């Protein structure tokens, strides 16, 4: 195994990974809500927490999982954004937030997802659930299974909308985990940043959609999130904002009203941006100087890059030394673009604080019979 080491000094301190400890900052006053949580997107570093693992109803924030499963189904080719989905009587009968879908009419998957992301449409949620799962109950099983895969141990879904139904609960930390996974999908950002747009029905009706997340328009850097409200859950909001290289996730459950929930999330984001910063050490998709040798191919080396960003996060104004170790082994052809080629491991003071997979950027076909013969003949000579 080849190990390449590099080092530098960066403005970062107290970097903690989820599960390795918690650094919690203090707001000036404790937020008036049932639970609150904020963390760095890149490293998972906890910035603030209040009853973050307490099981609570989260209302429409459960649609984060509905959207996540929908985008993942599209990534796998199980659905396409332009396919037409016929609405069932069951989906059309949903109450609460909706775009008043008509049973028997067909809508594009993208328009349905847009109405979920922008105005929290319950009817569109059920229509998508039935399309992806075959039935709402089968989709529900997928939701709970995916939550377990993500480590959301304090989460149980009873439907895909968040409408009151027992037993159903989550916690502020789990909501942040689910939102972080959703943020990996660029299509989500395309939809959730819409502030105001008309929803066109096939029968000519037009419904105006307004984004339920007011921070999209009124908080600098906010480009995603999901609101929720029921009498039982109170006012809820999970939001994300990015400034420079720093992206923060903030969650509040059980505020008294929407004005208060927006203020709490804004204060969580303010605290993070004012006191902390991120620096990208390896950028996703950017070619590394060192390639990886290939065995069994005329291509002797392939270029490699980080599969995801590798970042450090910490308090502003504090310096720490770090080292990045590239653990690379020769690959054997055939190699496709995206083949895992090793890992980059980030250390601070000799302690691992992060790692990311390295993948090939180019392909290397295996030697054919004639190529193999010529290579063997060279060795004879």
Find the distance separating the first CA and the last CA of the chain, reported in whole Å: 30
Smallest Cα–Cα separation from 70: which of 126, 148, 118? 126
Name the active-site residue from 34, 50, 63, 173: 63
Rounded Cα gap, residues 296 and 312, in angstroms: 38
Bridge partners (DSSP) of residue 335 are 364
- CB count in 10 Å sphere of residue 355: 16
Q: How many CA atoms lie within 13 A of 325 on its CB side?
A: 15
63 is a catalytic site residue: yes
Question: Which residue is it, tokens 């208060």?
Answer: 260
Distance of CA 130 to the CA centre of its chain: 23
Active site residue 297: no
Length of the chain: 381
108 is catalytic: no
The answer for 162, left when phi > 0, alpha when psi is -120 to 50, beta otherwise, is left
Identified catalytic residue from 115, 120, 124, 266: 120
User: Is the backbone of residue 125 left (phi > 0), alpha (psi -120 to 50) or beta?
Assistant: alpha
What φ, ψ does residue 301 adopt, rounded to 5°? -155, 140
State how far the Cα of 331 lies from the Cα of 366, in Å rounded to an integer.
11
Q: Which of 34, 38, 49, 60 is catalytic?
A: 60
| Residues marked as catalytic | 60, 63, 120
């Amino acid at each position: 195994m080849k190990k390449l080491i590099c080092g530098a000094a960066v403005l970062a301190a107290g970097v903690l990974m989820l599960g390795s400890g918690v650094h919690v900052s203090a707001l000036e006053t404790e937020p008036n809500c049932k639970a609150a949580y904020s963390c760095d997107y890149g490293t998972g570093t906890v910035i603030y927490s209040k009853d973050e693992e307490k099981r609570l109803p989260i209302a429409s924030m459960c649609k984060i999982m509905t959207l996540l499963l929908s985008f993942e189904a599209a990534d796998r080719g199980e659905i396409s954004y332009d396919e037409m989905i016929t609405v069932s009587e069951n989906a059309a009968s949903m109450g609460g937030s909706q775009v008043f879908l008509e049973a028997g009419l067909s809508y594009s998957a993208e328009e349905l997802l847009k109405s979920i992301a922008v105005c929290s449409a319950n009817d569109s949620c059920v229509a998508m659930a039935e399309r992806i799962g075959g039935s709402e109950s089968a989709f529900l099983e997928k939701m709970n299974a995916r939550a377990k895969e993500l480590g959301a141990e304090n989460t149980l879904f009873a439907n895909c909308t968040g409408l009151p139904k027992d037993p159903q609960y989550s916690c502020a930390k789990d909501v942040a985990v689910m939102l972080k996974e959703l943020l990996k999908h660029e299509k989500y950002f395309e939809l959730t940043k819409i502030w105001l747009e008309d929803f066109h029905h096939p029968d000519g009706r037009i419904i105006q959609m307004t984004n339920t997340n007011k921070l999209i328009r009124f908080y600098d850097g906010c480009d995603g999130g999901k609101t929720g409200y029921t009498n039982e859950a109170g006012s809820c909001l999970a939001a994300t904002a990015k400034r420079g290289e720093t992206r923060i996730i903030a969650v509040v459950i059980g505020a008294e009203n929407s004005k208060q929930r927006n203020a709490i999330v804004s204060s969580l984001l303010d605290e993070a941006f004012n006191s902390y910063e991120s620096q990208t050490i390896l950028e996703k998709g950017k070619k590394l100087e060192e390639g990886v040798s290939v065995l069994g191919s005329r291509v002797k080396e392939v270029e490699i890059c980080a599969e995801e960003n590798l970042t450090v996060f910490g308090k502003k104004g504090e310096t720490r030394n770090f080292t990045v170790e590239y653990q690379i082994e020769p690959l054997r052809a055939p190699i496709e673009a995206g083949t895992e080629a090793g890992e980059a491991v980030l250390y601070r003071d000799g302690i691992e604080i992060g790692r990311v997979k390295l993948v090939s950027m180019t392909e290397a076909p295996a030697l054919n019979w004639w190529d193999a013969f010529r290579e063997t003949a060279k060795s004879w000579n």
